[in-house]
Amino acid sequence: MNILEIIFIILLIVCGLIGILLVTSTINHNYQLRKEAKKYPPPGKLVKVKNHKTHIYVDGHGDNTLIFMSGHGTTNPTIDFKPLWMRMVDEYRIAVVEKAGYGWSETSSSPRDIDTMLKETRQALEFAGEKEPYVLVPHSMSGLEAIYWAQKYPYEVKAIIGLDPTVPDFVDQSLQMPHKTQLYFMYLVSRMGLSRFMPESEVEKTFPLMKSKDLTNED
């Protein structure tokens, strides 16, 4: 057996081990997801919008209803916005709308164009029993949806309070979308549960909210 054959056999063994690890990680991830879904039920309302259930968290009282709209890829908008909305519920009614695939909302096969997303947001609020006009509080990419909302349905929007919102000029001049290969890789990583192996120190570095004193252990 020559050196090339030995290297080839070693590569086959390594690839086989990697494959076993990935399959094991995927199986464990799906098992953990089922356990977590039972352990941490949605704190708000689940309303059926088109082909999926959308989660809306509502709290507080007041004459103005603030609609918190998350940025691109926010893992859990309800918890992400908590350090802010928890300080406002004594004077305002707040509602956090979690887009399809975010937080406790189910994923959707519908297109992610702005008209579809706005329609889903408005329907989710309607089905949850919320009444316009609203004060929109968009973060990042939701800034585009909020502006479009105010333009298309001005009677439904009392004001917009942007949290570092994306605006149309930025999209036209500066926005660079990730390559499809990168998005596909991120999709595979999430589906296989590889992020579960991230060290705690790296998690806190990536998600500084984890160190917030406003969050409970359950959060």
Question: pLDDT (tens digit, 9 = 90+) per residue, 131-158?
Answer: 999 999 999 999 999 999 999 999 999 9
Q: Which residue from 106, 122, 167, 169 is spatially nearest to 142, judged by alpha carbons?
A: 167
* Residue 55 CB neighbour total at 10 angstroms: 25
Does 93 lie in the same domain as 135?
A: yes
How many domains would you assign to the chain? Answer: 2
Does 170 lie in the same domain as 83?
A: yes
pLDDT value, residue 182: 86
Does 98 lie in the same domain as 129?
A: yes
* Predicted TM-score of the model (pTM): 0.87
Q: What is the CATH number of the domain that holds 52?
A: 3.40.50.1820
pLDDT value, residue 161: 97
2 pLDDT higher than 80: no
pLDDT value, residue 113: 92
Chain centroid to Cα 204, Å, comes to 18
- Tokens standing for residue 68: 């918190």
Does 65 lie in the same domain as 153?
A: yes
- The rounded percent of the chain whose pLDDT value lies above 70 is 100
177 pLDDT higher than 90: no
Does 93 lie in the same domain as 191?
A: no
Q: Which residue from 167, 118, 116 is spatially nearest to 141, judged by alpha carbons?
A: 167
Q: Is the peptide bond before 133 cis (omega within 30 degrees of 0)?
A: yes
Does 85 lie in the same domain as 182?
A: no
Q: What pLDDT, in 10s, does the model give residues 113-129?
A: 999 999 999 999 999 99
Does 201 lie in the same domain as 120?
A: no
By residue range, what is the domain housing residue 212? 177-219
Does 76 lie in the same domain as 96?
A: yes
pLDDT value, residue 51: 86
